[in-house]
Amino acid sequence: MATGLMDLILAGNDWLNNLVWGPPFMILLVGTGLFLTIRLGFFQFTHLRFAWRRSFGLAFRRGTDTEGAISPLQAVASAMAATVGVGNIAGVATALALGGPGAIFWMWAVALVGMATKFAEAALGVKYRQVLPSGQVLGGAFYYIERGVGWKWLAVLYAVFAGFASLGIGNMVQANTMAHALETGFGISSFLTGGVAMVLVGIVTLGGITRIAVTAERIVPAMAIFYILASLTLLAVNFAAVPAAFASIFHHAFTPAAPAGGFAGAGVLMAVRYGVARGIFSNEAGLGSASIAHAQARNSPGGQGLWGMWEVAIDTLVIGTMTALVILVSGALEEGVTGAELATQAFSSGLPGIGGLIVLVALVLFSYTTMLTWGFYGEQSFHYLFGRSSTLPYRVIFLLFIFIGAVGGLEVVWDLADTLNGLMAAPNLIALIVLSGVVARERTAVLSEAAKEKLTKMSAKDRAS
């Protein structure tokens, strides 16, 4: 009877998973991004340079507000610790293997509209956060759903989805990826990896968001630069093949990709589907998870929204593109493999001797940092549902699930968590649409603030002269 019940649960989850990650739901995700793009006056295109100057251009400023737990840079580093992960390697490789080169065009498209979505999520995260007398900051999608939209039940639903997804997608899948990479590359036991990972994650997460942010601020930029430089080195070696790689991306976005070698070929619909799905999986724009990290920033709502825009650009348009180009110029796509194995073959053939090691190191670092931030996302979700008393029990459970994931157990939970991860989007997208007017006002506010600062500087310069 227990087996029959489990089969029923799995069948129901498969149906729901196909719905959540299928075309209708992805259209809703992309449609919301397009709606916000129009509502904000194509802000991510017309003010991209401005957004850079007001975000990464001010990376070492403390922030514009006194409230908040961490700096704007630390907040975006923490958010990127979750998004710059396995999806940038295995996810992009899977999109290519199943959707062909054209999938990358659609991955770019969803990232471009996703920049508006992430601006909204980051801005609303700061706008509707709660700062307790102790200085602790509580924020994220559940707070702007409750305080902005006024639907407590929808906020609770989001917190449930996010809390349980953190134990699967943000935990066990990452631990298993790390363990598999180390076992394949160095023969390290998954039990040993699980135990060490528990300790290393625990040392950071038990210190709360401040310690997570400091760690992310140091590791995330370093690992991103390391991966980008390694990719650029391989592309430089194979520079003659780069123009053809770009040409194939644009050509097969609208024309089916024919079979070649072990590559089975892909139609245009497959290119669209897998490009959109992997793009969303990579940068998480629309899921609302990053708002939990951005809400901690010492910044204004619109000011932090600018960081959110560039988070998507760096994650997908830069790092994701590096993976795609490396695979295309190496010819590994024709080998008939997918996921991390495809990326490994591409780097190994392009940079013999060290290419495989580069992917292994990247997978381990990406998995580790993803667990750090998703641990905080889950902690905040449980805090919202059950109060402060749930924080320590959740942290202990999160660490235990790392070991379970590393040794390869509970694949059923992974499937369920994948569905919950997608379901997070529904409450969040409703809130983004309802609160789009608030987001538009925050965009106007940050532009006005910048204009006032410019006038002040001009006046001071005139007085000095």
Segment 306-351, tens digit of pLDDT: 999 999 999 999 999 999 999 999 888 887 777 778 888 888 888 8
Confidence of residue 61 (pLDDT cuts 50, 70, 90): low
Domains delineated in the chain: 38-445 (1.20.1740.10)
Dist CA 446 CA 50 (whole Å): 10
With 0-12 / 13-18 / 19 or more C-beta atoms within 10 angstroms meaning exposed / middle / buried, residue 465 is exposed
Contact 121, 285 (CB under 8 A): yes
Is 80 exceeded by the pLDDT of residue 144? yes
Once rounded to an integer, what is the mean pLDDT over residues 222-250? 92
3-state helix, strand, coil in the chain (%, to 5): 80, 0, 15
What would the two tokens of residue 378 be? 């889950």
Task: Please tell me the total number of residues recorded for the chain in this structure.
Answer: 465
Name the β-bridge partners of 260: 263
Evaluated on CA atoms 81, 83, 88, 89, the torsion sign reads positive
Higher pLDDT, 102 or 173: 102
Are 375 and 83 in contact, with CB atoms under 8 Å apart?
no
Q: How confident is the model at residue 198 (pLDDT cuts 50, 70, 90)?
A: very high
Q: What is the pLDDT of residue 148?
A: 96
Which two three-digit tokens encode residue 448?
A: 């006005």
Task: Check: pTM over 0.75? Answer yes or no.
Answer: yes
Secondary structure of residue 219 in the 3-state scheme: helix
> Does pLDDT of 104 surpass 80?
yes
- What integer pLDDT is reported at residue 59 of this predicted model? 65
Statement: residue 416 has pLDDT above 80 = no
pLDDT tens per residue, range 374-402? 999 999 999 999 998 998 999 999 999 99
CA-CA-CA-CA torsion for 73, 78, 83, 84, nearest 10 degrees? Answer: 70
Lowest mean pLDDT among 66-70, 403-407, 433-437: 66-70
H helices present in 238-263, as ranges: 242-251
Give the H/E segment covering residue 138: strand 137-138
Nearest to 343 by CA among 368, 377, 366, 310: 366
pLDDT at 265: 65
Kindly list the distances between the CA atom of residue 151 and the CA atoms of 97, 292, 321, 427, in Å, as whole numbers in the listed order. Answer: 41, 18, 39, 10
pLDDT averaged over the chain? Answer: 86
pLDDT digits (tens, 9 = 90+) for 241-288: 999 999 999 999 898 877 776 666 677 888 888 888 888 878 888 899
Confidence of residue 460 (pLDDT cuts 50, 70, 90): low
pLDDT, mean of residues 87-102 = 86
Sign of CA dihedral 72, 73, 78, 80: positive
pLDDT above 90: residue 38: yes
Residue matched to tokens 């019940």 = 5
